[in-house]
Amino acid sequence: MRRLKFQSILIIGCLFASVMASAQSVSAAASVPDSVIRVLWFDDTDPTTAGHNLAFSVNVSDTPNLAGTFTVYESAVIPSNGNALATLAIGGAGGNAEFVSISNVGAATRFSVRFVSTDSSAYADRDFLNIQPACAPGRFSDSGYGPCTEAPPGTFVDTERATTPLSCVPGTYQPDSGKTFCLYAAPGQYVSGSGATASTQCGMGTYSDNAGSLFCTPAGIGRYVNVLGSTAAIQCEPGYTTPIIGSSICQHDQNTLVSTPTAIWNSSTGGNVEMSFSVSPLVSGSVTVYQSSHIAGSPRVAGTASIASGSSSVTINLSFDESATSDQYSIKFESNNSNHNTTYWELVTPLCGPGNYSSNGFTPCNASPAGSFITGTGSTAPTDCAPGTYQPSVRQTSCLNAPAGTYVATAGATTPTTCPSGHFSADIAARSLDVCTASSPGNFVDDNDRSRQQLCAKGTFQKNVAQSACVPAKIGYFVKSEGATNQKRCKRGYTTSSVGSTSCKLKPKEPRLPTSLSRTRVSTVYLKNGKTSDGLRVVIASRSKTCKVRRSAEGYKFTGTKKGKCSITMTIKGNKKFASVTRTRNLRVA
């Protein structure tokens, strides 16, 4: 026995596929649109057996005030026996959607739906025939329509009417069939390939702290992982370390600090001191920096930092107003390991950092001026930028190479010099005007790109050197190739429609115009259908106050309004064979 389920839902997005339907209208009332019916195949049963599950949707959001009953039949046409699978009544409220799901419909793959309107004067009754259900998300077929197959494990289908499933990408997997998405590998697991049906736990010595990992990360020096599927590496206890990355156990070590801290003064808008400490990979503890040359009494703390096991160095950045920066500091390191003693450094004077200098290389420091640079620490003077390079900013650690099309002839430059107009240079870091080369005939140098010369385009030419532009061919002339040094005249009987032409066309025959007009008489130029003897369209106009031009059935008529010169513009519209020609003719109104 067939089982029917009815429910109303709000359809969001394009949930159901379009159907193929034919319909008949039975009255002159408005017709129900084909798009009102949507059918979706959403089961994975054997296409040759009973038990298919379908979803019928009736969307009336674009058909306001639709009221009536939809009846679903298990056949491509309306059966004569009238056995229905389901019915759905629409109440007539516009902007809604209704839904019917049907289970165990048998082995049918084609259906029909009959709509009977409550008000036949508003909407006509209509039959929707030969409806083929579309494959739902999670399913596919060769045609995209039922019968459909579930996406196998390791794949998914996230759209309707799919013809093939998509493989899960690395980092994701799917153990089940008929799914619309893949699962991310959980932290502590990974998926290295595509189409996976399961994720893999990270091995000993490795971990993964993110979902969707393609691989696991080996534990770093000073850290270990001793369980499978770990999401983090464990830090070795003070006094212990690991010999290599990817370790699952720590080893005992008693090393401590190995060098004196280095203090470097750096500044862009205010004072900034970087305290760098080189330490053993195993040591851990805390560093305190005092804004005083000695640790005595209660000196002001300028900054602190923690050194964790596994660190090889640590930096403390101390920022102040430039005028308040101390000349000297003192430092204390306290180890977390009781086997290590507390270490002190006093009278620590910061070195001038990159881009800064002083007479002795220590604070207070000055910024290197524009046109110079300082790369190292403890500098006593800036270095001028060499010829071929420049620097427009202060406190810089390097200079910029003069780009192509420019040069720098002197040291300490703040800007490069551009090659003269019509000249170019492809050299980088050029040191002399001599590298700038004049463009050759048939070429030009764009003022916005003086790194190269460019060939004159077709339709243009240039016969001179050192030019920044090419000359377009005049009307009656042409240039058919790039890099031309001259224009060529069209042969007799040919011309061009505009400047910059690459070829010539036949010159059309001009219609004859009168040489004089009477003030009291109308003169007509007879052009059949406004065309020349070559069949080309002609447009004639005038802006002169001495005459008027208008078109009539007989041709163009010229009317003199007062004595004087009458300027006539005549344009012959060309085609593939003939060129377009515009002429201005001066006539006389007698």
Element (H, E) at 329: strand 329-335
User: Is residue 47 over pLDDT 60?
Assistant: no
Over residues 159-181, the pLDDT tens digits come to 989 999 999 999 999 999 989 99
pLDDT at 1 over 50: no
CA–CA distance, 246 with 486 (Å, rounded to integer): 74
What is the Cα–Cα distance from 242 to 223, expressed in whole angstroms? Answer: 7
Separation CA 501–CA 504 (nearest Å): 7
- Distance, CA of 112 to CA of 101 (rounded, Å): 15
* 8 A C-beta contact, residue 291 and residue 329: yes
Q: Please say if the pLDDT value at position 42 is more than 70.
A: no
Q: What is the mean pLDDT of residues 140-159?
A: 91
Span of 44-53, 144-153, 207-216 with lowest mean pLDDT:
44-53
Buried b (16+ CB within 10 A) or exposed e, 340-374: beebebeebebbbbbbbbbeebbbebbbbbbbbbb
**CA distances (Å), origin 22, targets 12, 37, 58, 133, 307:** 26, 11, 16, 15, 78
Q: What is the pTM of this model?
A: 0.49
Question: How far apart are alpha carbons 446 and 363 in whole angstroms?
Answer: 49
Q: Which of 140, 133, 136, 144 is nearest to 155 (CA)?
A: 140
Distant-in-sequence, close-in-space partners of 281: CB < 8 Å, separation ≥ 6: 221, 222, 241, 255, 309, 310, 311, 312
**What whole-number distance in Å separates Cα of residue 459 and Cα of residue 36?**
59
pLDDT tens digits, 222-254: 889 989 999 999 988 766 677 788 888 776 554
* Cis peptide bond upstream of 147, omega within 30: yes
Percentage of residues in the chain with pLDDT exceeding 70? 82
* 232-238 CB contacts, 8 Å cutoff, 24+ apart: 232/207, 233/207, 235/308, 235/309, 235/310, 236/282, 236/309, 236/310, 237/309, 238/282, 238/283, 238/284, 238/309, 238/335, 238/336, 238/337
Amino acid at 261: P
**Of 447, 456, 453, 389, which is closest to residue 420 (Cα–Cα)?**
447
Secondary structure of residue 235 in the 3-state scheme: strand
- Mean pLDDT for the chain? 82
Query: For 63-72, 115-124, 510-519, which range has the lowest pLDDT when averaged over its residues?
Result: 510-519
Q: How far apart are CA 51 and CA 127, in angstroms?
A: 25
If pLDDT is split at 50, 70 and 90, which confidence band does 10 have? very low
Confidence of residue 193 (pLDDT cuts 50, 70, 90): very high
Q: Using the structure block, give the residue that is written with the tokens 């209660």.
A: 298
Region 138-142: mean pLDDT is 91
Q: Which residues are within 8 A (CB) of 119 and not within 5 positions of it... i.e. 6 or more apart?
A: 67, 68
Q: How far apart are CA 331 and CA 289, in angstroms?
A: 5
- The residue to which tokens 């499933």 are assigned: 165
Contact by Cβ (8 Å): 460, 413: no
State the SS3 of 449-483.
CCCCCEECCCCEECCCCCCCCCEECCCCEECCCCC
User: How would you label 388-412 residue by residue, b for 16+ Cβ within 10 Å and e otherwise?
Assistant: bbbbeebbbeebbbbbbbbbbeebb
Average pLDDT over residues 389-412: 97
Q: Are 273 and 325 in contact (CB under 8 A)?
A: yes
Whether the predicted pLDDT of 432 surpasses 90: yes
> What pLDDT digit, counting tens, does each position of 297-347 carry?
778 888 887 877 655 566 777 766 555 556 778 888 887 766 565 777 777
Q: What is the mean pLDDT of residues 370-380?
A: 94
Q: Which string of DSSP letters, residue by residue, matches 203-217?
A: -TTEE--STT-SSPE
Pairing verdict, β 200-201 and 189-190: antiparallel
Average pLDDT over residues 16-38: 51
- Tell how strand 581-589 and strand 564-572 pair up: antiparallel
Q: What SS3 state is found at 425?
A: coil
Confidence of residue 271 (pLDDT cuts 50, 70, 90): low
pLDDT score of 3 more than 60: no
CA proximity to 291, closest of 349, 240, 371, 212 = 349
326 vs 150: which has the higher pLDDT: 150
Place of tokens 């370790």: 247
* Mean pLDDT of the region 35-60: 67
State the average pLDDT over residues 357-373: 91
Q: Which residue has the higher pLDDT, 25 or 455?
A: 455
Low-confidence winner among 347-351, 388-392, 542-546 (lowest mean pLDDT):
347-351
Mean pLDDT of 496-518: 87
Measured between alpha carbons, how far is residue 215 from residues 71, 192, 257, 458 in Å? 55, 6, 35, 57
- pLDDT above 60: residue 394: yes
Task: Say which residue, 118 or 398, is predicted with more confidence.
Answer: 398
Reported as a pLDDT band with limits 50, 70 and 90, residue 110 is confident
Number of Cβ atoms within 10 Å of the Cβ of 167: 17
User: pLDDT at position 312, please?
Assistant: 56
The SS3 assignment for 322 reads: helix
| pLDDT at site 207 | 96
